[in-house]
């Protein structure tokens, strides 16, 4: 509910900006044309993921993981890494945070192993593994739309910095991603309507997230119109050599941890003037969003799931671990980008 309240305030500020002439109605129309397919994708994929969970898909996967691991902690951890990576790449980081977190906690409890390493692995991969495909993250969808990049072209740039080994040729057809996502949601909706209609409830639609994201879009567009983000130009640099790319990624990572990765991306997007710099920006706002609890929505959703299952993680410890991991992740990804991108 807090997300919805914040989103409503942001939308209200955007309306005030339009009424005051700060944000031209033409800019709002262009923003709507750009953001509507993205929000449609979020809604459709959330419904797909929730109904898949209701069908027992994730529970079945958890049972298989436990069976394959045979009580071995390292084997179980490696299986969690593979599952979290695949879930993030092809279903989005928020799906991993919301639906996979309970799975890994349950599996760890069943194996009588501390769930903390598995929970941290899940949230870190939810952010860092979301680099490869446009569908993996909202920031990726924004970047791919801005560049007009086919999913294969997007993956060709991002494969080196992504923290994964296996590339499965899914969701790379080039069709607008909201179309197959909506089709999948519709098929599942009909199936549950016929077999388990009680599952189909309004809560399946992530309206709070939609309001929040829409509010961020509008307010950041107003900030651009007021030229409030131009101060970032001198900080973010403009070159494409490794140090300049690292500079941009570093500014993006700090901005994501200070505010949130989505507004950080929107604020810095005008200064990512090439595919390579856009990739560096995505590395910063995604792989670098590991320190503060509000750095990404996925982290907040992840923590909420942990609390609901009685698993406690202190934010100071989370931040300390993130401070150790994020710089290494961002630096390594940027140099991989510079070498192979």
For residue range 208-225, list pLDDT tens digits in order.
777 887 887 888 788 877
60-69, 149-158, 170-179: which is most confident = 60-69
User: What is the band of 155 on the pLDDT scale with cuts at 50, 70, 90?
Assistant: low
Q: Considering all CA atoms of the chain, what is the largest pairwise distance in Å, rounded to the nearest integer?
A: 64
pLDDT at residue 209, as a whole number: 75
pLDDT tens sequence across 32-90 = 887 787 777 778 777 877 787 777 776 777 777 777 777 777 888 888 888 888 777 77
The pair of structure tokens assigned to 147 is: 């560049």
Within 8 A by CB and 6+ apart from 328, the residues are none
Average pLDDT over residues 189-199: 80
Cα separation, 121 vs 249, in Å, equals: 22
Tokens 């955007």: give the residue.
14
- Residue 244 pLDDT > 80: yes
pLDDT at residue 165, as a whole number: 34
pLDDT at residue 156, as a whole number: 60
Length of the chain: 341
24-33, 102-111, 165-174: which is most confident = 24-33
pLDDT at residue 180, as a whole number: 66
Cα separation, 150 vs 199, in Å, equals: 36
Burial 169-189 (b: 16+ CB within 10 A, else e): eebbeeebbbebbbebbeebb
pLDDT at residue 49, as a whole number: 72
pLDDT at residue 202, as a whole number: 82
Cα separation, 63 vs 104, in Å, equals: 10
pLDDT at residue 145, as a whole number: 67
SS3 of 329, please? helix
Residues 138 and 96: beta-carbon distance below 8 Å: no
Q: Where are the alpha helices (DSSP H) in 20-149?
A: 25-54, 57-69, 73-91, 93-95, 101-110, 116-128, 138-147
Residues 76 and 66: beta-carbon distance below 8 Å: yes
Average pLDDT over residues 294-321: 82
pLDDT at residue 172, as a whole number: 38
Cα separation, 200 vs 67, in Å, equals: 32
User: What is the band of 149 on the pLDDT scale with cuts at 50, 70, 90?
Assistant: low
Residues 309 and 255: beta-carbon distance below 8 Å: no
Residues 213 and 263: beta-carbon distance below 8 Å: no
Tokens 């797909």: give the residue.
48
DSSP H or E run through 214: helix 207-225
Other CB atoms closer than 10 Å to residue 272's CB: what's the count?
23
User: What is the band of 249 on the pLDDT scale with cuts at 50, 70, 90?
Assistant: very high
pLDDT at residue 293, as a whole number: 85
Distances (CA, A) of 335 to 132, 152, 164, 225, 289: 16, 21, 16, 34, 18
Exposed, middle or buried by CB within 10 Å (0-12, 13-18, 19+), for 192?
middle
Average pLDDT over residues 170-183: 57
- Residue 338 pLDDT > 80: yes
Cα separation, 285 vs 128, in Å, equals: 10
Cα separation, 158 vs 180, in Å, equals: 22
The overall average pLDDT reported for the chain is 78
User: What is the band of 166 on the pLDDT scale with cuts at 50, 70, 90?
Assistant: very low
User: What is the band of 198 on the pLDDT scale with cuts at 50, 70, 90?
Assistant: confident
Residues 259 and 219: beta-carbon distance below 8 Å: no
More confident residue, 143 or 174: 143
Average pLDDT over residues 145-170: 52
pLDDT tens sequence across 92-111 = 777 777 777 878 887 777 77
Cα separation, 55 vs 49, in Å, equals: 10
Least confident of 55-69, 187-201, 318-332: 55-69
Q: Is 228 left (phi over 0), alpha (psi -120 to 50) or beta?
A: alpha
- Residue 138 pLDDT > 70: no
Other CB atoms closer than 10 Å to residue 300's CB: what's the count?
17
Average pLDDT over residues 267-291: 89
- Residue 169 pLDDT > 50: no
Cα separation, 272 vs 157, in Å, equals: 14
Residues 38 and 238: beta-carbon distance below 8 Å: no
More confident residue, 153 or 306: 306
- Residue 20 pLDDT > 80: yes
């Amino acid at each position: 509910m807090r997300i919805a309240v914040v989103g409503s305030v942001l939308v209200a500020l955007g309306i005030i900006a339009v009424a005051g002439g700060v944000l031209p109605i033409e800019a709002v129309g262009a923003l709507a044309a750009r953001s509507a397919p993205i929000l449609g994708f979020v809604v459709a994929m959330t419904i797909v993921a929730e109904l898949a969970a209701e069908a027992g898909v994730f529970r079945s996967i958890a049972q298989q993981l436990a069976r394959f691991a045979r009580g071995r902690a390292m084997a179980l951890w490696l299986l969690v890494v593979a599952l979290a990576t695949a879930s993030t790449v092809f279903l989005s980081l928020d799906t991993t945070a919301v639906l996979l977190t309970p799975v890994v906690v349950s599996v760890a409890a069943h194996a009588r192993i501390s769930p903390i390493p598995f929970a941290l692995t899940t949230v870190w991969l939810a952010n860092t593994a979301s680099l490869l495909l446009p569908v993996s993250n909202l920031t990726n969808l924004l970047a791919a739309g801005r560049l007009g990049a086919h999913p294969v072209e997007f993956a060709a740039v991002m494969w080196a910095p992504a923290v994964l080994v296996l590339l499965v040729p899914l969701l790379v057809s080039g069709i607008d991603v909201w179309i197959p996502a909506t089709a999948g949601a519709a098929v599942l909706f009909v199936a549950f309507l016929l077999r388990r209609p009680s599952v189909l409830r309004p809560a399946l639609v992530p309206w709070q997230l939609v309001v929040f994201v829409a509010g961020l879009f509008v307010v950041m567009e107003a900030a651009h119109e007021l030229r409030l983000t131009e101060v970032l130009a001198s900080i973010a640099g403009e070159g494409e050599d490794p140090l300049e790319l690292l500079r941009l990624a570093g500014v993006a990572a700090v901005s994501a941890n200070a505010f949130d990765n989505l507004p950080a991306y929107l604020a810095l997007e005008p200064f990512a003037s090439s595919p390579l710099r856009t990739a560096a920006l995505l590395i910063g706002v995604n792989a670098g969003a590991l320190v503060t609890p509000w750095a990404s929505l996925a982290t907040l959703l992840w923590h909420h799931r942990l609390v609901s299952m009685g698993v406690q993680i202190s934010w100071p410890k989370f931040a300390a671990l993130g401070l150790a991991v994020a710089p290494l992740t961002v630096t390594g990804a940027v140099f991989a980008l510079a070498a192979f991108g």
